[in-house]
Amino acid sequence: MINIWKYIDNQFIFVTSDSVRKAVILSIFHDNALRTLSVTYPLLLPLYTRYHPLHLALVAAYNQHTSSGSLQQGDRLTVTQQYAISKKLLVNVWLPLILGLHPKGSPRYKAILPGGLSPFNIGTIDTKIDAFGVLGLNIGSEADLATVKTATDSNHASLLLLREAQSSAITTTSDNSDTLETARKAAMVMQYRNLGNMMDNFYDTIETMCPLVFDLVTLRENPQTIFTGSILSMAKENLLAHSFLAVDKIAVKIVGSGTFKLTLSSSVDGADSIEIIVTANIKKEITISAFGVTNFALHRFLNVESLSGDAATYRVQLL
């Protein structure tokens, strides 16, 4: 028997064979990277076009699988919570950026938000979710609002998937593992094919491009679940870098005095998420969705800021 040549061994299939969750994390990163970078590198656009449907199918199958049966009520709550997070991002982050370019009452503002915020406040959950899709369409190709459109479209897609999973969970509690496994393999095979395409088109810069397009940290990471360290008085510290899903949980205990602020940020010194307060010497379990972020390919850094006058030690466990 001739052994398989290691260069044709699909690592994406191999490393996710016993962890669909890891496949979803890899897919979120890859899909987001292709969408974002295709603006700068047009050669990536065909890769995004063929990969995105497979990504949506994988996430939908994952949500369907995890939201069936006894989790139906919890899934309905997830849609509500996710919508509240998206609405908060709209009001606190995206709307100020729009107003900074187009004052309220201007023709362009009215074109982007013809009904103001009313569509996001009035109607059924489905019409409110649709309002995010309309917002993205109304922004269109305006370069200065490209980041807002990307974020809006991403939130709209996430809400649709959660809503679809909820609706499906109401009508079926059957085991969806076969569908999920098929979706996992299809997405991981396409990532492998995309890697081959990139080797051809970005041969001279492949070492730079690969970490931008593929989540190599998750692909290679060891199964470390406990992180410990110390933090100085009134200082900021990065506790860990990890690719999360909204349903993931962590347990945090900080030994010392006073209080501390946790954020799930896009950089090792950032604070661009909802802040969660942890009181010293009290173990706290936190669901990742509580940080209010939706782009888990970007927000990977769990950071802490000390509000205490004393040094402390911390222990973070991935549950």
**DSSP labels, the chain:** -PPPPGGGS-HHHHHTTT-HHHHHHHHHHHHHHHHHHTTT-GGGHHHHHHHHHHHHHHHHHHHHHHTSGGGHHHHHHHHHHHHHHHHHHIIIIIHHHHHHHS-TTSHHHHHH-TTTTHHHHSS-HHHHHHHHHHHHHHHTT-GGGHHHHHHHHHHHHHHHHHHHHHHHHHH--S--HHHHHHHHHHHHHHHHHHHHHHHHHSGGGHHHHHHHHS-HHHHH-----EEEEEE-TT-EEEEEE----TT-EEEEEEESSSEEEEEEESSTT---S--EEEETT--EEEEGGGG----TTT--EEEEEE-SSS-EEEEEEE-
* C-alpha span between 232 and 311 (Å, rounded): 4
Higher local confidence (pLDDT), 75 or 38: 38
Task: Write down the pTM of the prediction.
Answer: 0.47
Mean local confidence (pLDDT), 25-32 = 84
| All CATH 2.60.120 domain ranges in the chain, comma separated | 222-318
CATH fold of 222-318 reads: Jelly Rolls (2.60.120)
Q: Is the pLDDT of residue 270 over 90?
A: no
Average pLDDT over all residues of the chain: 81
The pLDDT of 241-260, averaged and rounded, is 84
pLDDT tens-place string over residues 200-238: 999 898 888 888 888 887 777 655 677 788 888 888 888
Q: Which is more confidently placed, 57 or 2?
A: 57
pLDDT value at position 68?
Answer: 53
Cα three-residue angle 266-10-295, rounded to 5 degrees = 20
Q: pLDDT at residue 50 above 90?
A: yes
pLDDT in tens, 131-184: 888 888 888 888 888 888 887 887 787 777 776 655 554 444 344 577 888 999
pLDDT the model gives residue 246:
77
Question: pLDDT digits over 78-116, tens only?
Answer: 667 678 777 888 888 888 889 989 998 899 999 899 888
